Amino acid sequence: MLREIVRTIEAKQSFLITSHVRLDGDAIGSEVALYRLLTRLGKRVAIFNEDEIPENFLFLMDNVEIYHNIPQISDYNVLFVIDCSDLERVGKNASALKKIETIINIDHHLSNGRFATVSYLDPEASSTGELIFRLIKEMGIPLRKEEAEGLYTAILTDTGGFRYRNTSKDTLLVAAALVDSGADPQWLSENIYENNAVVKVLLHAKALETLNLALDGKVAYVTVSKDTMEALGAKTQHIDGLVDIVRTIKGVQVAVLFLELDRNFYKLSFRSKGGVDVEKVARELGGGGHLNAAACEVKGEIAWIRDRVFSSLKEIL
């Protein structure tokens, strides 16, 4: 498959790159690396993302042509769909994008709709960044610093800083190769993880004071009310990372965040340790995710929601 993608890159002139809504480091880092690669090969390239780039990834975006409204589709021969198991994850313009003649999908998610002309899929890879690395290797050209920085960002964030289950020997070997090509682990980590708004730190502090344990200490949870969010002037993005802190408690197998979006309407985020499958619990409640990280939205009174969550969790613990 990689060979076929390389041939397409060689043969075609204009490329549009896209990824899923609610952008993460793997989507953005992989997009940017591919953008830089195609640009230096003299191709015409642009990125289209329905959502804005989160602030902590903006440092990667210098001189990148990016659209948040869909550009003129007829300008492009090839569409790269990155880190998406399904074209619909691109957002509300997915069907317009289908008109591009050649669609290449590169992805590491388990379920994949195989919607593309060519697909390069590997659910064993840590991240889509790891797959773009393989693509550049396959082309037989040396990686440049700017590409290495995008790919390191992709791998670093999708492995939770080399901590999650998807951190394999190969993942670390690729990271080493990226450092060799100029990616600076300290500089990248500081940009990505040490650019928090003051309000985020204060929100985490406030939220952690609501910490409670359930099911003999195997579950820890925090609750963030709409009032707290409003009093601090916090946005939803400032919640990021909170539930990961809750998971760091000894003996806790599942951490849960109950975030009040509106009256009797909550977003629930789950994190688990080891082999505990919280995706199952989130799916029962209409959500989804991965084995160790999942989320859903539930309507109802908080006491009723909690009871329902704890009885689901009881069955898997």
Binding pattern to a copy of itself, positions 230-269, x when CB under 8 A?
---------------xxxxxx-x-----------------
In which residue are the tokens 């650019």 written? 195
Q: Give the helix/strand (H/E) hosting 313.
A: helix 302-316
Distance CA 268, CA 270 (A): 7
Of the candidate residues 189, 223, 225, 228, the single one contacting a copy of itself (CB under 8 A): 189
Q: Does 223 bind a copy of itself (CB under 8 A)?
A: no
Q: How far is the CB of 111 from a copy of itself (least distance, A)?
A: 22
In which residue are the tokens 């500089």 written? 187
Of the candidate residues 61, 73, 172, 302, the single one contacting a copy of itself (CB under 8 A): 172
* CA separation, residue 167 to residues 48, 123, 170, 232 (Å): 29, 13, 8, 36
In which residue are the tokens 């074209």 written? 87
Q: Does 204 bind a copy of itself (CB under 8 A)?
A: yes
Segment interacting with a copy of itself, rule: CB under 8 A, options 87-95, 114-122, 164-172, 259-267: 164-172
Dihedral sign from CA coordinates of 104, 75, 23, 159: positive
* CA separation, residue 19 to residues 53, 94, 106, 132, 199 (Å): 12, 10, 10, 14, 29
Of the candidate residues 61, 70, 139, 211, the single one contacting a copy of itself (CB under 8 A): 211
Q: Does 196 bind a copy of itself (CB under 8 A)?
A: yes
Q: How far is the CB of 71 from a copy of itself (least distance, A)?
A: 31
Decide if 36 contacts 144 (C-beta within 8 A): yes
C-alpha radius of gyration, the chain, whole number: 20
Distance CA 103, CA 112 (A): 14
Specify the residue, 173 or 231, whose C-beta has the smaller distance to a copy of itself: 173
Q: How far is the CB of 161 from a copy of itself (least distance, A)?
A: 5
Distance CA 317, CA 312 (A): 9
Q: Does 164 bind a copy of itself (CB under 8 A)?
A: yes
Segment interacting with a copy of itself, rule: CB under 8 A, options 66-74, 82-90, 205-213, 258-266: 205-213
Q: Does 197 bind a copy of itself (CB under 8 A)?
A: yes
Residues of this chain that interact with a copy of itself (CB under 8 A) are: 161-165, 167-170, 172-173, 175-177, 179-180, 185-187, 189-190, 193-198, 201-202, 204-209, 211, 213, 220, 245-250, 252, 273-274
